[in-house]
Amino acid sequence: MSPSSDTPRPGRLSRRTALTLLGTSLAAVPLLSAVPSPAAEVSRRGRGLDDPAKKEIAMKLVSSAENSSLDWKAQYKYIEDIGDGRGYTAGIIGFCSGTGDMLDLVELYKDRKPGNVLAPYLLALRRVNGSDSHEGLDPHFSGDWRTAARDQVFQQAQNDERDRVYFNPAVEQGKADGLRALGQFAYYDAFVMHGDGSDATSFRNIRRRALRQAQPPAEGGDEKEYLDAFLDARVWAMKQEEAHSDTSRVDTAQRVFLRAGNFDLEPPLDWKVYGDSYHID
C-alpha cells in the first residue's frame, strides 16, 4: 500500500519541510493537477463491468451465447463434448478438459475440499490436457461433475476461477484502454471463447489486430471506432474455427448495443444469439 500524502517517504523531505528550508511559502507553490488514469476516467463516466449489477448482465449475456439461457447459475452442472477439439466443456464459463482451465478448477476444488467427488479424476485431467481425449474420464465423469455442481464449495470455485482467468483480466485491460462497460464486456466475451494464449486467435492477438485499425480511447481514439475494429477482429478470429463460425453473439448482440451507443450496457437490453431473442429489463 502506498503511504498517504501526509506521510513523507523514508529518506525524503516532506513537501512542507522542503519549502520551509527554501524559505518559500507553501501557499505560494501551486500543486500540479493529477492527470486521471484511463481507468479513473472510465469510472467517472459510468460504472464498469465489475459493478455487481453490470457483472450480472455480463453473466447473462455470456450464458445466452454459451448455454442458450439467461439462467447462468443453472450452468454449474452443465457438461458435454461439443466437438470443438477441446474435450469436455463444462460449468458456467465452459471450462475445458483439453485446455487446462478445467484442470485448474478441479485442483482448486480439491484444495478447498479434499476427497471431493472430482478429485480422483485429477490424474486423468492432467493426461488429457491439450487434447480432446476422454481417456480416464468416461464413463462417470459427467455424472460426478453434476454431483459436484450441487456443492456450494464447487460453485464458488467456478466463480473464482472464472474471475481470475477471464473476467478480471478482461475488465482490467478494458479499463486500461479507456473502455466503458460494453467494451469491457467485448473483451470478456473474447477471453471466454479464445483465451489469452499466443496463437493468432487469442484475445491479445485479436486486440493487436484491432489496434492496427484504430486507437482506444486511452490513446485518444474514438470509442465506437475502436470497438468496431475490435469486433471486426473478433469476427475474423471466430471464423478461423468451424465450431465458432456462427458470429451472432457479436453481430446481433454486441454490435446492436454499439450501434445504439449503449456504451454503459444500460438496460433494457434486447439481442439475439443463434436466432433466439433475449431481453433484460
The tens digit of pLDDT for each residue in 194-219 reads 999 889 999 999 999 999 999 999 99
Residue 10 lies in a domain: no
Residue 16 lies in a domain: no
pLDDT at 185 over 50: yes
Catalytic annotation present for 189: no
Residue 136 banded pLDDT, cuts 50, 70, 90: very high
Of 50, 66, 161, 223, the active-site residue reads 66
Question: Do residues 108 and 192 both lie within one domain?
Answer: no
Q: Domain with 109 in it: what CATH number?
A: 3.30.386.10
Q: How far apart are CA 25 and CA 133, in angstroms?
A: 74
Residue 170 lies in a domain: no
Catalytic annotation present for 84: yes
Q: How far apart are CA 252 and CA 257, in angstroms?
A: 9
Q: Print the domain residue range for 159.
A: 78-164
Domain boundary residue, one of 164, 186, 207: 164
**Other CB atoms closer than 10 Å to residue 48's CB: what's the count?**
20
Question: Do residues 56 and 195 both lie within one domain?
Answer: yes
> Residue 210 is placed in which grid cell?
484491432
Q: How many domains does the chain have?
A: 2
Question: Do residues 91 and 156 both lie within one domain?
Answer: yes
Question: Do residues 136 and 203 both lie within one domain?
Answer: no
> Residue 106 is placed in which grid cell?
478441479
Of 41, 51, 84, 107, the active-site residue reads 84
- For residue 131, the 8-state DSSP code is S
Q: Which runs of E-coded beta strand occur in 168-244?
A: none
User: pTM, whole model, 2 decimals?
Assistant: 0.83
Residue pair 203/180 in contact (Cβ under 8 Å)? The answer is: no
HSE, side-chain direction, 13 A CA sphere, residue 242: 5
Residue 38 lies in a domain: no
The overall average pLDDT reported for the chain is 88
Residue 88 lies in a domain: yes
Residue 149 lies in a domain: yes
CA distances from 54 to 28, 51, 223 (A): 45, 5, 19
